[in-house]
Structure 1
Amino acid sequence: MTPTIPGFTQQHVPTNGITLNAAVGGSGPPLVLLHGFPQTHLMWRHVAPALAAEHTVICPDLRGYGASDKPADTDGTTYSKRTMAADIVALVRELGHERFAVAGHDRGALVAIRAGLDHPDKVTHLASLDVLPTLDMWDVMRGTSAAVGFHLYLMAQPPGLPERMIEASADAFFGHFLDIWTRDPAAVPPEIRAAYLAASRAAVPSIVADYRASAGIDLAHDRADREAGRRLRMPVTVLQQDWGAALGFDAAALWSAWAPDLRHITVSCGHFMAEEAPDEVVKAVRDLLTR
């Protein structure tokens, strides 16, 4: 049986020319939770029920992931964060809401950031879990420390080779990140790991296209925003491991250039903090939503 988020219902919602799978629960002002790599909406299984006490919580699978549609990338824009952010705005509208708060982890955080930049009239609050904006991510990746991001460079290559390499050993590839990015292995139990691997195995081309966009069109969009002085207008909370210090940069300073109303919090856990430190994530999101 496929795992689910307790108390949430699955909905398949037509939006922006595709259909997104979303788990929806609770009532009140809308809060969207966006998953990362190599995960699905299930990563929020501890956080979402707690936040559903005060909010309508919407946990979609991003386009190209999980049980959401996986259109072919025909022009390099299909998996741009601009397109994926438009998906989320349309999803929330289809569910009956115009404005929403959003928290994203990893790839989902990049979608949340783009939603905040492109749709400031729609996004009321924004939380980012353990990622840097695309422009800054590429700027800080240098020297031997960049080895931790080898997958970014692999999936940035032109279509063909990355997909074939990953498909040839998909479980080993995706499982590698579940292993090395988790400080507490028990945080991703066997049934959840199996669900993540099965979903990722079935989505290699779209996952690669998502990452390829970050080395291309997403980077161009961030540069244009930086040159125009465009920033996130809403209250922003960033939860991050201490890898900024380990890699030789000040993550809070990088984030402050994008978010004037910023709270930057260091969390002592692995990358998958919604699964390893859900109570801290819930508290941070609740505090954000009071600002």
Structure 2
Amino acid sequence: MNIPGFTAHRVPVADGVSLHVAVGGAGRPVVLLHGFPQTHLMWRQVAAGLASDHTVICPDLRGYGASDKPADPDGLSYAKRTMAADVVALARALGHESFALAGHDRGALVAFRAGLDHPDAVTHLALLDVLPTPDMWEVLHGSSAAVAFHLYLMAQPPGLPEQLIGAAPDLFFGHFLDLWTRDPSAIPADVRAAYLAACRTAVPSIVADYRASAGVDTEHDLADRAAGNVLGMPVTVLQQDWGAVLGYDAAALWRAWAPDLEHRTVDCGHFMAEEAPDEITSALRKLLTR
């Protein structure tokens, strides 16, 4: 499946790694990064809305969808620093030295790292329904952390999580598509089937992506925190009201990383680009005027 009206490309971004990407529209470039357990299709409605006056670039992240899924012998292939470099290389290959960037879930973590590592490339940054990795680990505690069991499962050393998830991938990935969606009609049957088919072939790389968040990604983020590094561009964060459940102030956590911040709570499920596409499109357009 592809986003209607968009053209599919395969773009080399690193040694032995090419990304599948859908590109549409014309104008100032906006790159949209998907989350778990999805592909670039999650942006189909938002991308169409932005394409009237922007070049919209929607890749499958490395390890997901139709993009390459390299092995991870050193634990760095799925570091968010590596994945962020992919995004910058992709934009440059398509002729854009700078671009606005939005990410959801895992894609938001890649976007966050891109904003820190490549501030001259990322002009505006939108982050949907996620916390920076160190903050995420710090706020999870007690029985409320059970909602994030998958983070702990996929943080385990190679072997066990891949075997457990690979034994019933549709059940595992489908669990999150069902649990995290307030409006089931937001993910039609054909799109859901496409997500599950993509995940079936990507279990090791998806696990490696999550495992990095318990290791190298946390190390990189803590180093930036210690150095006082922050996001210098305008930042919009859109989240569910997690703080009410887990007992923290999401806006305050984000403001420590993003001085030029607009933080909003969105009244929908986790897959907000699919459940509230008009609201998300409007928020991105507002960000681009800052």
TM-score bracket for the superposition, by shorter chain length:
over 0.9
- Which residue matches 1:13? 11
How far apart are 1:4 and its partner, in Å?
A: 1.8
- Which residue matches 2:47? 48
CA deviations over 1:86-111 (Å, ceiling 9, x no partner): 00000000000100100000000000
* Amino acid in structure 2 at the alignment position of 1:172: L
* Amino acid in structure 2 at the alignment position of 1:270: G
* Amino acid in structure 2 at the alignment position of 1:119: H
* Amino acid in structure 2 at the alignment position of 1:46: Q
**Structure 1 CA distance for aligned equivalents of residues 71 and 41 of structure 2:** 24
**Structure 2 CA distance for aligned equivalents of residues 51 and 228 of structure 1:** 36
**Structure 1 CA distance for aligned equivalents of residues 102 and 283 of structure 2:** 10
CA deviations over 1:204-246 (Å, ceiling 9, x no partner): 0000000000000000000000000000000000000011222
- Which residue matches 2:36? 37
* Amino acid in structure 1 at the alignment position of 2:242: W
Q: TM-score, normalised by structure 1?
A: 0.99
* Amino acid in structure 2 at the alignment position of 1:97: H
**Structure 1 CA distance for aligned equivalents of residues 122 and 282 of structure 2:** 20
**Structure 2 CA distance for aligned equivalents of residues 163 and 179 of structure 1:** 21
Q: Which runs of no fewer than 5 residues in structure 2 stay unpaired?
A: none
Runs of 4+ in 1 over 2 A off after TM superposition: none
How far apart are 1:13 and its partner, in Å?
A: 0.4
* Amino acid in structure 2 at the alignment position of 1:13: V
CA deviations over 1:41-62 (Å, ceiling 9, x no partner): 0000110011011110000000
**Structure 2 CA distance for aligned equivalents of residues 5 and 227 of structure 1:** 41
Q: Which runs of no fewer than 5 residues in structure 1 stay unpaired?
A: none
**Structure 1 CA distance for aligned equivalents of residues 31 and 135 of structure 2:** 24
- Which residues in structure 2 correspond to 1:193-204 (within 5 Å)? 193-204=192-203
Q: TM-score, normalised by structure 2?
A: 0.99
* Amino acid in structure 2 at the alignment position of 1:201: R
RMSD: 0.5
How far apart are 1:16 and its partner, in Å?
A: 1.6
- Which residues in structure 2 correspond to 1:32-181 (within 5 Å)? 32-181=31-180
Q: Secondary structure at the match of 1:175?
A: helix
**Structure 2 CA distance for aligned equivalents of residues 188 and 263 of structure 1:** 28
- Which residues in structure 2 correspond to 1:160-239 (within 5 Å)? 160-239=159-238
Tell me how many residue pairs correspond in the alignment: 289
How far apart are 1:27 and its partner, in Å?
A: 0.5
CA deviations over 1:263-287 (Å, ceiling 9, x no partner): 0010000000000000000000000
* Amino acid in structure 1 at the alignment position of 2:211: R
Percent of residue pairs bearing the same amino acid type? 75
**Structure 2 CA distance for aligned equivalents of residues 28 and 193 of structure 1:** 31
